[in-house]
Protein backbone atom coordinates (compact mmCIF):
# COMPACT_ATOMS: atom_id res chain seq x y z
CA UNK A 1 0.00 0.00 0.00
CA UNK A 2 1.20 3.53 -0.75
CA UNK A 3 1.53 5.75 2.31
CA UNK A 4 2.23 9.43 2.87
CA UNK A 5 4.90 9.95 5.55
CA UNK A 6 6.92 12.87 6.93
CA UNK A 7 10.31 13.15 5.21
CA UNK A 8 12.04 12.28 8.47
CA UNK A 9 10.08 9.04 8.67
CA UNK A 10 11.10 8.13 5.11
CA UNK A 11 14.78 7.68 6.01
CA UNK A 12 15.95 4.27 4.81
CA UNK A 13 13.05 3.91 2.38
CA UNK A 14 13.09 4.14 -1.44
CA UNK A 15 11.49 7.14 -3.16
CA UNK A 16 8.35 6.21 -5.02
CA UNK A 17 8.88 8.64 -7.92
CA UNK A 18 11.36 11.16 -9.38
CA UNK A 19 11.38 14.44 -7.43
CA UNK A 20 11.69 17.64 -9.44
CA UNK A 21 13.37 20.86 -8.39
CA UNK A 22 13.26 24.27 -10.04
CA UNK A 23 16.19 26.47 -9.03
CA UNK A 24 16.92 30.19 -9.22
CA UNK A 25 19.89 29.45 -11.52
CA UNK A 26 17.49 28.15 -14.21
CA UNK A 27 17.80 24.46 -13.37
CA UNK A 28 14.64 22.39 -13.74
CA UNK A 29 14.99 18.68 -13.43
CA UNK A 30 15.31 15.59 -11.30
CA UNK A 31 16.87 16.19 -7.89
CA UNK A 32 16.16 12.70 -6.51
CA UNK A 33 15.49 9.62 -8.65
CA UNK A 34 12.77 7.04 -8.11
CA UNK A 35 14.22 4.27 -5.94
CA UNK A 36 16.74 6.53 -4.17
CA UNK A 37 17.04 5.45 -0.53
CA UNK A 38 16.35 8.50 1.60
CA UNK A 39 19.24 9.42 3.93
CA UNK A 40 19.33 11.77 6.85
CA UNK A 41 21.57 14.12 4.86
CA UNK A 42 18.82 14.45 2.21
CA UNK A 43 16.29 16.03 4.56
CA UNK A 44 17.40 19.65 4.10
CA UNK A 45 17.60 19.28 0.33
CA UNK A 46 14.15 17.71 0.26
CA UNK A 47 12.72 20.58 2.28
CA UNK A 48 14.44 23.08 -0.02
CA UNK A 49 12.42 21.69 -2.92
CA UNK A 50 9.22 21.86 -0.90
CA UNK A 51 8.88 18.27 0.28
CA UNK A 52 7.57 17.89 3.83
CA UNK A 53 5.94 14.53 3.04
CA UNK A 54 6.83 11.66 0.73
CA UNK A 55 5.08 8.63 -0.68
CA UNK A 56 6.53 5.30 0.42
CA UNK A 57 5.43 1.74 -0.06
CA UNK A 58 4.01 -0.10 -3.02
CA UNK A 59 0.99 0.14 -5.28
CA UNK A 60 -1.96 -2.14 -4.70
CA UNK A 61 -2.64 -4.90 -7.22
CA UNK A 62 -4.20 -3.58 -10.44
CA UNK A 63 -2.43 -0.20 -10.42
CA UNK A 64 0.57 0.90 -12.53
CA UNK A 65 3.24 3.50 -11.66
CA UNK A 66 3.43 6.59 -13.95
CA UNK A 67 6.76 5.62 -15.55
CA UNK A 68 5.81 1.98 -16.07
CA UNK A 69 2.45 3.07 -17.48
CA UNK A 70 4.00 5.24 -20.17
CA UNK A 71 6.90 2.92 -21.00
CA UNK A 72 4.66 -0.10 -21.33
CA UNK A 73 2.57 1.44 -24.13
CA UNK A 74 5.43 3.00 -26.13
CA UNK A 75 6.03 0.18 -28.61
CA UNK A 76 2.34 -0.02 -29.46
CA UNK A 77 2.31 3.61 -30.56
CA UNK A 78 5.45 4.16 -32.63
CA UNK A 79 6.38 3.18 -36.15
CA UNK A 80 9.56 3.53 -38.13
CA UNK A 81 12.46 5.85 -37.33
CA UNK A 82 11.43 6.73 -33.79
CA UNK A 83 13.36 5.93 -30.62
CA UNK A 84 13.00 6.62 -26.90
CA UNK A 85 14.82 6.27 -23.61
CA UNK A 86 13.49 5.43 -20.15
CA UNK A 87 10.99 7.98 -18.82
CA UNK A 88 12.07 10.70 -16.45
CA UNK A 89 9.77 12.66 -14.12
CA UNK A 90 7.01 10.43 -15.47
CA UNK A 91 7.54 11.58 -19.06
CA UNK A 92 8.69 9.68 -22.10
CA UNK A 93 10.10 11.51 -25.13
CA UNK A 94 9.88 10.01 -28.59
CA UNK A 95 12.68 11.26 -30.83
CA UNK A 96 13.49 10.98 -34.52
CA UNK A 97 16.35 8.62 -35.28
CA UNK A 98 16.43 9.67 -38.91
CA UNK A 99 15.81 12.85 -40.93
CA UNK A 100 12.40 12.95 -42.58
CA UNK A 101 8.86 14.05 -41.99
CA UNK A 102 6.98 13.43 -38.74
CA UNK A 103 3.55 11.92 -39.32
CA UNK A 104 0.94 11.38 -36.65
CA UNK A 105 -2.37 9.61 -37.06
CA UNK A 106 -4.62 12.41 -35.84
CA UNK A 107 -7.62 10.21 -35.08
CA UNK A 108 -5.43 7.83 -33.06
CA UNK A 109 -3.77 10.74 -31.23
CA UNK A 110 -7.17 12.21 -30.37
CA UNK A 111 -8.33 8.87 -28.98
CA UNK A 112 -5.20 8.49 -26.85
CA UNK A 113 -5.69 11.93 -25.33
CA UNK A 114 -9.43 11.45 -24.90
CA UNK A 115 -9.14 8.12 -23.08
CA UNK A 116 -8.49 9.33 -19.54
CA UNK A 117 -5.18 9.55 -17.70
CA UNK A 118 -2.74 9.68 -20.66
CA UNK A 119 -1.52 12.82 -22.44
CA UNK A 120 0.59 12.99 -25.61
CA UNK A 121 1.85 16.35 -26.88
CA UNK A 122 3.41 16.31 -30.35
CA UNK A 123 5.02 18.71 -32.78
CA UNK A 124 2.66 19.37 -35.71
CA UNK A 125 2.17 16.45 -38.03
CA UNK A 126 4.07 16.74 -41.34
CA UNK A 127 6.88 18.79 -39.79
CA UNK A 128 10.30 18.25 -41.39
CA UNK A 129 12.55 16.75 -38.71
CA UNK A 130 16.20 15.90 -38.20
CA UNK A 131 17.62 12.89 -36.40
CA UNK A 132 17.53 13.59 -32.66
CA UNK A 133 14.60 16.03 -32.77
CA UNK A 134 11.92 15.70 -30.10
CA UNK A 135 8.58 14.61 -31.58
CA UNK A 136 6.27 13.56 -28.76
CA UNK A 137 6.16 14.00 -24.98
CA UNK A 138 3.89 11.45 -23.30
CA UNK A 139 2.90 10.90 -19.67
CA UNK A 140 -0.03 10.06 -17.48
CA UNK A 141 -1.40 12.88 -15.34
CA UNK A 142 -1.74 11.07 -11.96
CA UNK A 143 1.09 9.28 -10.18
CA UNK A 144 -0.39 5.91 -11.08
CA UNK A 145 -3.24 4.55 -13.14
CA UNK A 146 -5.38 1.47 -13.40
CA UNK A 147 -4.08 -1.56 -15.32
CA UNK A 148 -7.26 -1.36 -17.41
CA UNK A 149 -6.31 2.15 -18.58
CA UNK A 150 -2.89 0.91 -19.76
CA UNK A 151 -4.54 -1.89 -21.72
CA UNK A 152 -7.01 0.55 -23.32
CA UNK A 153 -4.16 2.74 -24.56
CA UNK A 154 -2.34 -0.30 -25.97
CA UNK A 155 -5.51 -1.27 -27.83
CA UNK A 156 -5.84 2.21 -29.35
CA UNK A 157 -2.18 2.04 -30.37
CA UNK A 158 -2.65 -1.36 -32.01
CA UNK A 159 -5.78 -0.20 -33.84
CA UNK A 160 -4.03 2.78 -35.45
CA UNK A 161 -0.41 1.59 -35.38
CA UNK A 162 1.64 3.51 -36.02
CA UNK A 163 0.22 6.60 -34.38
CA UNK A 164 3.65 8.25 -34.59
CA UNK A 165 6.29 7.72 -37.28
CA UNK A 166 9.01 9.45 -39.26
CA UNK A 167 8.96 8.83 -43.00
CA UNK A 168 12.34 9.25 -44.65
CA UNK A 169 12.76 11.43 -47.71
CA UNK A 170 13.54 9.69 -51.00
CA UNK A 171 15.70 10.82 -53.86
CA UNK A 172 13.24 12.01 -56.52
CA UNK A 173 13.60 12.45 -60.26
CA UNK A 174 11.97 15.79 -61.00
CA UNK A 175 10.76 17.20 -64.34
CA UNK A 176 9.98 20.92 -64.45
CA UNK A 177 7.67 22.65 -66.94
CA UNK A 178 7.45 26.44 -67.02
CA UNK A 179 4.43 27.58 -69.02
CA UNK A 180 3.50 30.94 -70.52
CA UNK A 181 3.92 32.44 -74.00
CA UNK A 182 5.46 35.54 -72.44
CA UNK A 183 8.29 33.40 -71.04
CA UNK A 184 8.59 30.97 -73.95
CA UNK A 185 9.05 33.89 -76.40
CA UNK A 186 11.43 35.63 -73.98
CA UNK A 187 9.12 38.65 -73.80
CA UNK A 188 9.88 38.57 -70.05
CA UNK A 189 12.52 36.77 -67.99
CA UNK A 190 11.58 33.56 -66.21
CA UNK A 191 11.48 33.94 -62.44
CA UNK A 192 10.39 30.39 -61.53
CA UNK A 193 13.56 28.40 -62.18
CA UNK A 194 15.59 29.93 -59.30
CA UNK A 195 12.58 29.55 -56.99
CA UNK A 196 12.09 25.84 -57.72
CA UNK A 197 15.83 25.11 -57.63
CA UNK A 198 16.07 26.71 -54.20
CA UNK A 199 13.05 24.77 -52.88
CA UNK A 200 14.37 21.45 -54.18
CA UNK A 201 17.89 22.08 -52.87
CA UNK A 202 16.94 20.82 -49.39
CA UNK A 203 16.20 17.35 -50.80
CA UNK A 204 18.15 14.70 -52.63
CA UNK A 205 16.93 15.00 -56.22
CA UNK A 206 17.80 14.81 -59.90
CA UNK A 207 16.40 17.40 -62.28
CA UNK A 208 15.42 15.68 -65.52
CA UNK A 209 14.89 18.97 -67.30
CA UNK A 210 13.55 22.51 -66.98
CA UNK A 211 11.50 23.19 -70.14
CA UNK A 212 9.88 26.49 -71.03
CA UNK A 213 6.64 25.88 -72.95
CA UNK A 214 4.10 28.03 -74.82
CA UNK A 215 0.46 27.94 -73.71
CA UNK A 216 -0.17 24.99 -76.02
CA UNK A 217 -1.85 21.89 -74.64
CA UNK A 218 -0.15 19.34 -76.91
CA UNK A 219 3.27 20.92 -76.57
CA UNK A 220 3.09 20.82 -72.76
CA UNK A 221 1.66 17.29 -72.69
CA UNK A 222 4.49 16.03 -74.91
CA UNK A 223 7.11 17.48 -72.59
CA UNK A 224 5.37 15.93 -69.58
CA UNK A 225 5.12 12.56 -71.37
CA UNK A 226 8.86 12.71 -71.98
CA UNK A 227 9.44 13.15 -68.23
CA UNK A 228 7.09 10.23 -67.49
CA UNK A 229 9.00 8.02 -69.96
CA UNK A 230 12.17 8.95 -68.11
CA UNK A 231 10.58 7.73 -64.87
CA UNK A 232 10.02 11.08 -63.18
CA UNK A 233 8.73 10.80 -59.60
CA UNK A 234 7.48 14.38 -59.60
CA UNK A 235 6.52 16.73 -62.44
CA UNK A 236 6.18 20.38 -61.46
CA UNK A 237 4.22 22.72 -63.74
CA UNK A 238 4.25 26.49 -63.18
CA UNK A 239 1.93 29.18 -64.54
CA UNK A 240 -1.46 29.04 -66.20
CA UNK A 241 -3.16 27.81 -63.03
CA UNK A 242 -6.07 30.16 -62.64
CA UNK A 243 -9.09 31.45 -64.60
CA UNK A 244 -7.77 33.12 -67.78
CA UNK A 245 -8.55 31.56 -71.15
CA UNK A 246 -4.84 30.75 -71.54
CA UNK A 247 -4.75 28.95 -68.17
CA UNK A 248 -4.63 25.34 -69.34
CA UNK A 249 -2.31 23.73 -66.80
CA UNK A 250 -5.01 22.20 -64.52
CA UNK A 251 -6.69 20.63 -67.57
CA UNK A 252 -3.37 19.12 -68.65
CA UNK A 253 -2.77 17.67 -65.18
CA UNK A 254 -6.31 16.28 -65.11
CA UNK A 255 -5.98 14.72 -68.59
CA UNK A 256 -2.61 13.14 -67.85
CA UNK A 257 -3.36 11.78 -64.38
CA UNK A 258 -4.90 8.46 -63.46
CA UNK A 259 -6.58 10.48 -60.74
CA UNK A 260 -6.90 14.20 -60.16
CA UNK A 261 -6.48 14.45 -56.38
CA UNK A 262 -7.29 18.13 -55.98
CA UNK A 263 -7.71 21.30 -58.03
CA UNK A 264 -7.58 24.33 -55.78
CA UNK A 265 -7.07 24.18 -52.01
CA UNK A 266 -8.11 26.35 -49.02
CA UNK A 267 -4.64 27.84 -48.58
CA UNK A 268 -3.51 31.33 -49.55
CA UNK A 269 -1.14 32.05 -51.13
CA UNK A 270 -1.17 29.04 -53.36
CA UNK A 271 -4.96 28.68 -53.72
CA UNK A 272 -4.79 27.17 -57.19
CA UNK A 273 -2.46 24.27 -56.34
CA UNK A 274 -3.44 21.27 -58.48
CA UNK A 275 -2.26 17.72 -57.84
CA UNK A 276 -2.82 14.53 -59.82
CA UNK A 277 -1.18 11.12 -59.77
CA UNK A 278 -0.13 8.97 -62.72
CA UNK A 279 1.09 5.53 -61.61
CA UNK A 280 3.32 6.67 -58.75
CA UNK A 281 4.27 10.05 -60.24
CA UNK A 282 2.81 13.21 -58.72
CA UNK A 283 1.87 15.88 -61.25
CA UNK A 284 1.80 19.20 -59.45
CA UNK A 285 0.65 22.58 -60.76
CA UNK A 286 2.25 25.40 -58.79
CA UNK A 287 0.35 28.70 -58.95
CA UNK A 288 2.04 32.01 -59.74
CA UNK A 289 2.04 33.05 -56.07
CA UNK A 290 5.17 30.98 -55.39
CA UNK A 291 7.16 33.50 -57.43
CA UNK A 292 6.56 36.37 -55.01
CA UNK A 293 5.69 34.60 -51.73
CA UNK A 294 8.38 32.64 -49.94
CA UNK A 295 5.94 30.20 -48.34
CA UNK A 296 2.87 28.90 -50.19
CA UNK A 297 0.76 25.76 -50.33
CA UNK A 298 3.47 24.13 -52.45
CA UNK A 299 5.93 24.40 -49.54
CA UNK A 300 3.46 22.61 -47.27
CA UNK A 301 3.31 19.62 -49.63
CA UNK A 302 6.86 19.42 -51.00
CA UNK A 303 8.09 17.43 -47.95
CA UNK A 304 5.15 15.05 -48.38
CA UNK A 305 6.01 14.46 -52.06
CA UNK A 306 9.61 13.70 -51.09
CA UNK A 307 8.43 11.31 -48.38
CA UNK A 308 6.25 9.61 -51.04
CA UNK A 309 3.18 9.88 -48.85
CA UNK A 310 -0.05 8.56 -50.29
CA UNK A 311 -1.96 11.85 -50.52
CA UNK A 312 -5.72 12.00 -50.38
CA UNK A 313 -8.12 14.86 -51.15
CA UNK A 314 -8.70 15.34 -47.39
CA UNK A 315 -4.99 16.06 -46.85
CA UNK A 316 -5.56 19.23 -48.87
CA UNK A 317 -9.09 20.20 -47.90
CA UNK A 318 -8.41 20.00 -44.15
CA UNK A 319 -6.02 22.95 -44.36
CA UNK A 320 -8.59 25.75 -44.35
CA UNK A 321 -8.11 26.50 -40.64
CA UNK A 322 -4.67 28.14 -40.56
CA UNK A 323 -4.60 28.16 -44.34
CA UNK A 324 -4.22 31.91 -44.54
CA UNK A 325 -0.44 31.86 -44.51
CA UNK A 326 0.10 35.62 -44.87
CA UNK A 327 3.10 36.66 -42.87
CA UNK A 328 4.17 33.09 -42.15
CA UNK A 329 7.90 32.65 -42.34
CA UNK A 330 9.49 29.46 -43.65
N1 LIG B 1 -10.08 37.05 -61.50
C2 LIG B 1 -9.24 36.21 -60.91
N3 LIG B 1 -7.97 36.55 -60.85
C4 LIG B 1 -7.09 35.74 -60.25
C5 LIG B 1 -7.49 34.52 -59.71
C6 LIG B 1 -8.85 34.16 -59.81
O7 LIG B 1 -9.26 33.07 -59.38
N8 LIG B 1 -9.70 35.05 -60.43
N9 LIG B 1 -6.55 33.73 -59.10
C10 LIG B 1 -5.37 34.37 -58.61
C11 LIG B 1 -4.35 33.40 -58.27
S12 LIG B 1 -4.71 32.47 -56.90
C13 LIG B 1 -3.13 33.34 -58.90
S14 LIG B 1 -1.91 32.32 -58.28
C15 LIG B 1 -2.80 34.22 -60.01
C16 LIG B 1 -2.07 33.67 -61.23
O17 LIG B 1 -2.03 32.41 -61.36
P18 LIG B 1 -1.39 31.64 -62.59
O19 LIG B 1 -0.64 30.50 -62.00
O20 LIG B 1 -2.47 31.32 -63.53
O21 LIG B 1 -0.34 32.60 -63.25
P22 LIG B 1 -0.32 33.19 -64.74
O23 LIG B 1 -1.67 33.67 -65.13
O24 LIG B 1 0.32 32.20 -65.60
O25 LIG B 1 0.64 34.42 -64.54
C26 LIG B 1 0.33 35.48 -63.67
C27 LIG B 1 1.45 36.51 -63.65
O28 LIG B 1 2.67 35.91 -63.28
C29 LIG B 1 3.64 36.01 -64.32
N30 LIG B 1 4.40 34.77 -64.39
C31 LIG B 1 3.91 33.52 -64.44
N32 LIG B 1 4.88 32.62 -64.53
C33 LIG B 1 6.03 33.31 -64.53
C34 LIG B 1 7.41 32.96 -64.60
N35 LIG B 1 7.80 31.68 -64.70
N36 LIG B 1 8.33 33.94 -64.59
C37 LIG B 1 7.95 35.23 -64.51
N38 LIG B 1 6.68 35.64 -64.41
C39 LIG B 1 5.73 34.70 -64.45
C40 LIG B 1 2.84 36.21 -65.57
O41 LIG B 1 3.60 36.81 -66.60
C42 LIG B 1 1.69 37.10 -65.06
O43 LIG B 1 2.13 38.44 -64.91
O44 LIG B 1 -3.99 34.72 -60.54
C45 LIG B 1 -4.76 35.39 -59.55
N46 LIG B 1 -5.77 36.13 -60.18
O1 LIG C 1 -3.01 30.23 -56.21
MO2 LIG C 1 -2.61 31.90 -55.91
O3 LIG C 1 -1.99 33.42 -55.51
O4 LIG C 1 -3.18 31.86 -54.13
O5 LIG C 1 -1.03 31.11 -55.70
Considering every ligand atom shown, identify the ligand nearest to the alpha carbon of residue 241 and give its number: 1
Alpha helices in 33-85 (DSSP H): 43-48, 66-77
- What would the pLDDT profile of 158-175 be if each residue is shown by its tens digit? 999 999 999 999 999 999
φ, ψ (nearest 5 deg) of residue 37: -85, 120
269 lines ligand 2 (CB under 6 A): yes
Q: Output the residue whose Cα is nearest ligand 1's atom 10.
A: 242
For residue 96, list its beta bridge partners. Answer: 82
The number of residues in the chain equals 330
In-domain check, residue 326 = no
- Does one domain contain both 197 and 138? no
In-domain check, residue 330 = no
Rounded average pLDDT over 212-241: 97
**Residue 300's pLDDT is what?**
97
- Does one domain contain both 190 and 310? yes
- Buried residues in 218-243 as b, exposed as e (16+ CB within 10 A): eebbebbeebeeeebbbbbbbbbbee
- Does one domain contain both 186 and 314? yes
- Does one domain contain both 157 and 272? no
**Best probe residue, ligand 1, of 198, 242, 323 (max atoms within 8 Å of C-beta):** 242
Average the pLDDT over each of 56-65, 185-194, 222-231 and give the range with the smallest value.
56-65
User: What does 185-214 look like in DSSP terms, one character per residue?
Assistant: TTSS---HHHHHHHHHTTS-EEEEEEEEE-
- What would the pLDDT profile of 243-294 be if each residue is shown by its tens digit? 888 889 999 999 999 999 999 999 999 999 999 999 999 999 999 999 989 9
The domain of 279 spans 172-320
Count of CA atoms in the C-beta half-sphere (13 A) of 26:
0
271 lines ligand 2 (CB under 6 A): yes
- Does one domain contain both 148 and 257? no
Considering every ligand atom shown, identify the ligand nearest to the alpha carbon of residue 212 and give its number: 1
- Does one domain contain both 205 and 262? yes
- What would the pLDDT profile of 304-326 be if each residue is shown by its tens digit? 999 999 999 999 999 999 999 97
- What would the pLDDT profile of 83-133 be if each residue is shown by its tens digit? 999 999 999 999 999 999 999 999 999 999 999 999 999 999 999 999 999
Supply the CATH number for residue 48's domain: 3.90.105.10
Which of 121, 147, 167 is the endpoint of a domain? 167
**Residue 68's pLDDT is what?**
96
Supply the CATH number for residue 216's domain: 3.40.980.10
Residue 169's alpha-carbon distances to 98, 128, 234, in angstroms, are 10, 10, 13
ipTM of the complex: 0.96
Residues 6 or more apart whose Cβ sits within 8 Å of residue 166: 80, 81, 82, 96, 97, 98, 100, 101, 102, 103, 129, 135
In-domain check, residue 195 = yes
Residues 6 or more apart whose Cβ sits within 8 Å of residue 176: 193, 196, 207, 209, 210, 211, 235, 236, 238
Amino acid sequence: MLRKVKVEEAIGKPLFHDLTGIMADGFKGVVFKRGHIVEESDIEKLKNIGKENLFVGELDYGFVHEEDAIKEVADDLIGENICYKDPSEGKITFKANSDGIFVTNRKGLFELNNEGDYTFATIPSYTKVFSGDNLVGGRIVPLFTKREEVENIKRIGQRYRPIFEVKKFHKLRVGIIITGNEIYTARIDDLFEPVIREKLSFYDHEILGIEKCPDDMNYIKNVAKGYLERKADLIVFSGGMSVDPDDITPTIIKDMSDKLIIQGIPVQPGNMLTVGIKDKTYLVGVPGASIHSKFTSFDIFLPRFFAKLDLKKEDFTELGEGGLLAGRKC
